[in-house]
Amino acid sequence: MTEFWETNFNEKQEMWGWEPADSSLLAVELFKKHSFQKILIPGFGYGRNAKAFMDQGFEVTGIEISAKAIELARKHLGQGIKVHHGPVSAMPFDQEQYDGVFCYALLHLLNASERKKLIKDCFRQVSPGGYLVFVSISKLDPRYGRGTPVGKDQFETWPGLHLFFYDPDSINEEFDGYGLVSTALISEPMNDTAGQPRQSYWYIICEK
């Protein structure tokens, strides 16, 4: 996965632009409602979603596997941003306790054991009363069933890229014991945007 992401990021750079994902704005409002301050973002990327939190005064720490993405984030967001360089499989990178975790479009890139570890590690780093928000693709997404099957509800949709597609059963199974509060199907982008295909995601909220 490291090699795949570095190669494709080098080719596409700011591939999603700088507008934050709609679901990140929902998480911003959720965290503001609870007066959270310290936020952890595994899968920081080049910072487009992190910027939405930073603009609202949150103290953001990221985890990002791509050195190129971190370099670009620092170019746009400032050299002082706190981002740990490495795979989420190496969590925890610090012993901090965070008020909230926002994890966008990362969980479905991992295999079963990696997903289990990421959920567990994120839960451990949230303070009691904190929230975790995961956004991951659903079986209603147009990409479901495309490519080579590599496991139950998992497909290699591009050489080296494996996608796992969630449904209610797999969400309940993988988040059992981690304070699952609610799930909702959402489309990204939520509003019709010319030239951007709408994709189906689960918006998953857990509370510790």
Per-domain residue ranges for the chain? 2-207
Are the C-beta atoms of residues 60 and 50 closer than 8 Å to each other? yes
Lowest mean per-residue pLDDT among 4-18, 104-118, 169-183? 4-18
Mean pLDDT, rounded, for 115-122: 98
Q: Which pLDDT tens digit goes with each residue over 19-77? A: 899 999 999 999 999 999 999 999 999 999 999 999 999 999 999 999 989 999 999 99
Confidence of residue 197 (pLDDT cuts 50, 70, 90): low
Q: Report how far residue 27's alpha carbon sits from residue 40's, in angstroms, rounded to the nearest whole number.
A: 12
- Three-state DSSP string of 149-202: EEECCEEEEECCEEEECECHHHHHHHHCCCCEEEEEEEEECCCCCCCCCCEEEE
Partners of 98 in the β-ladder: 126
CA-wise closest residue to 147 among 162, 134, 126, 169: 162
For residue 6, the model assigns a pLDDT of 45
At residue 180, the pLDDT reads 98
| Percent of the chain scoring above 90 in pLDDT | 81
Looking at domain 2-207, what is its CATH homologous superfamily?
Vaccinia Virus protein VP39 (3.40.50.150)
Write down the pLDDT at residue 4: 44
Handedness of CA 51, 99, 91, 189 (dihedral sign): negative
Cβ atoms of 205 and 141 within 8 Å: the answer is no
Write out pLDDT tens, residues 75-102: 999 999 999 999 999 999 999 999 999 9
